[in-house]
Amino acid sequence: MNNILEITELRKTFKGFTLEDISFRLERGYIMGFIGPNGAGKSTTIRLIMNLINRDGGDIKIFGLDNIKFEREVKQRIGFVYDENYYYEELTLLEIKRFIAPFYRQWDDRAFMQYLHRFDLAPKKRVKELSKGMKMKFSLALALSHHPELIIMDEPTSGLDPVFRNEVLEILADIIQDETRGILFSTHITSDLDKIADYVTFINQGRIVFSEAKDSLLDSYALVKGGRELLDRDTRKEFVGIRENQFGFEALTRNATHTRSIFGDRVLVERATLEDIMLYTVRGNTSA
């Protein structure tokens, strides 16, 4: 079994929100993008994986081990980066390192200093003196310096400028060259995933819409454009979501081959992006 992360029928209910029996798995050597709109359940899932909140049902296995029963063992091998800085703002980077390092058996001081150097972070600076992007890089340096096998990142690129974001993506692409590791990367910036993700798991309103290899996903989904006269009760069923205006319609299909066979040359079929897939799935049918 090569699953580095395996989630089965995971359930958590808050007032006004339920994560409904979600299941997905990530194999070693791959990057999984975890996408969905704000409030879809991405952070809740990650908090459940990290055992920061209590699950109501289901299983989480990391390296084949239950994440609660073997919490310490599992966390030894996880690197985490959250969407905000939760480190003590008053401490310097070096002080935080001195406090964090003893927790990890595999802590590598040399790697940590190399990351600080690479990210242009001064060890004697306090966390509160860093910009948002630098705080994220510092989190990443801490997360990577004990050579984790699973890296969990909750919206690491949100609020970062494109240059920073690209740099982070390059680092992740570097890390995954070593095929023993896995990365779960939650984001609502889907263009990040176009570059690096191997698998995409899409969550919406607490439910998994799909969890598939990115390439097969982009092969099966497609954007379809055509005249409104082509839409009737039966053909509408072909689409995940339809946008209509006075000139025609634009819709997302889950099965490009089937749609082509129905409409032939009367429509224009284009490759969908992850953003298209997310938008149409979340918004459903709209007309202008």
Partner 1 sequence: MLSLIYKDIILQKKMFLFALGYAVFLFFVFRSPEFVNGVYVMGAFAIAYLFVLTSVAWDDKNKSEIILNSLPIKREDIVKAKYLFVLVAAALGVAIMGGTGLILKGFGLTIHAGYLGWPDALASLTSVAFLSAIYLPLYYRFGSIYMKIINVVIFMLVFFLPSFILGYVREHPDQELVAHTVRILATTPEWLLVLTIIALVFSLMAGSMLIAIRVYRKKEL
**Candidate ranges 43-51, 181-189, 238-246, 268-276; the one touching partner 1 (CB under 8 A):** 43-51
Residue 68 interacting with partner 1 (CB under 8 A): no
Residue 204 interacting with partner 1 (CB under 8 A): no
Report strand pairing: 3-14 vs 17-27.
antiparallel
Report strand pairing: 150-154 vs 182-187.
parallel
Which of 95, 167, 194, 212 touches partner 1 (CB under 8 A)?
A: 95
Residue 16 interacting with partner 1 (CB under 8 A): no
Between 109 and 170, whose beta carbon lies closer to partner 1?
109
Secondary structure (3-state) at 31? strand
Q: Look up tokens 């749609």; give the residue.
A: 259
Residue 158 interacting with partner 1 (CB under 8 A): no
Q: Which residues, including other chains, have CB under 8 Å from residue 33's CB and lie 6 or more apart?
A: 185, 186, 187, 190, 192, 193, 196, 197, 199, 200, 201, 214, 274
Which of 3, 8, 23, 51 touches partner 1 (CB under 8 A)?
A: 51
Q: CA torsion sign, 69 to 73 to 75 to 77?
A: negative
Q: Are 124 and 92 in contact (CB under 8 A)?
A: yes
Secondary structure (3-state) at 128? helix
The values of phi and psi at residue 144, to 5°, are -95, -15
Which of 75, 97, 181, 214 touches partner 1 (CB under 8 A)?
A: 75
Residue 104 interacting with partner 1 (CB under 8 A): yes
Which of 9, 98, 109, 219 touches partner 1 (CB under 8 A)?
A: 98
Which of 50, 168, 240, 251 touches partner 1 (CB under 8 A)?
A: 50
**Candidate ranges 72-80, 160-168, 177-185, 193-201; the one touching partner 1 (CB under 8 A):** 72-80
Residue 277 interacting with partner 1 (CB under 8 A): no
Q: Are 87 and 139 in contact (CB under 8 A)?
A: yes
Residue 86 interacting with partner 1 (CB under 8 A): yes
> What's the closest the beta carbon of residue 79 comes to partner 1, in angstroms?
10
Nearest to 62 by CA among 134, 70, 117: 70
The contact set with partner 1 (CB under 8 A) reads 47, 50-54, 71-76, 78, 80, 82, 84-91, 95, 98-100, 102-104
